[in-house]
Structure 1
């Protein structure tokens, strides 16, 4: 985690230097406030990662004496392909089009389709080819 913390610390330093320079060159409140909020967000993430890295035991990537074999093993579960995110996105687009056109009947249809698509996404690994 230390490497990730240093990446965000360097990003925070970059935005801390760019924000006043942007203000001096443009006198634009919108861009300056956006850069300030970006700097604060990067600082928040770097503080979180720094505290988390101090409390956890070093990973193989964080140790200088680590071997490549130290990082071997199972990395986790990675799901195979799935069509359900496509149907969730299409249902959301139906809802958005219904709101944009003030066609509330279309919004209701979109919510019904979204419920079906979300149910399929959640229960994808309980039936079919990828059931556990």
Structure 2
């Protein structure tokens, strides 16, 4: 995880430099300032910095993985990677509700009346998926 954190820190530094250059470049343009691209680049910097911080912070609390060992083989990372949820219908409900919500912004806010229940059903179903039904933990 430490190496991935360094990679994202490098991405963050590069994006920060590009955001400053882009912001200065568009400010001195004949067409006026262009705030959307500069804002997007600074937000991308923030996202990369968050991921770099998380990976760096987490790497101190977990064992060193094969990705952090320069002499590791591919087979060193073999084995169980953790617990993953079985099939679920909840993401479909969230996706349909999200699609209705975004279409509501375009076509009319009345679509939010259809989107909100679908999003809530999907969200609560996904959160409480392991507390009832066939996937209930004993």
Instruction: Please indicate the TM-score interval, normalised by the length of the shorter structure.
Output: 0.5 to 0.7
Instruction: Tell me which residue corresponds to 2:24.
Output: 24
Whether the aligned pair in 2 keeps the contact of 1:8 and 1:45 (CA below 8 Å) is yes
Whether the aligned pair in 1 keeps the contact of 2:5 and 2:53 (CA below 8 Å) is yes
Whether the aligned pair in 2 keeps the contact of 1:8 and 1:43 (CA below 8 Å) is yes
Aligned residue among 66, 70, 77 for 1:71: 77
C-alpha distance in 2, partners of 1:108/1:45? 34
Instruction: Tell me which residue corresponds to 2:53.
Output: 47
Instruction: Tell me which residue corresponds to 1:7.
Output: 7
| 1:72/1:21 CA distance change after superposition, 3 Å | same
Shift of residue 100, structure 1, vs aligned partner: 0.6
Compute the TM-score of the two structures, normalised by the length of structure 1: 0.64
| 1:94/1:48 CA distance change after superposition, 3 Å | closer
Runs (4+) of structure 1 moved beyond 6 Å? none
Cα RMSD of the aligned pairs, angstroms, is 3.6
Compute the TM-score of the two structures, normalised by the length of structure 2: 0.62
Aligned residue among 90, 106, 109 for 1:100: 109
Shift of residue 8, structure 1, vs aligned partner: 0.9
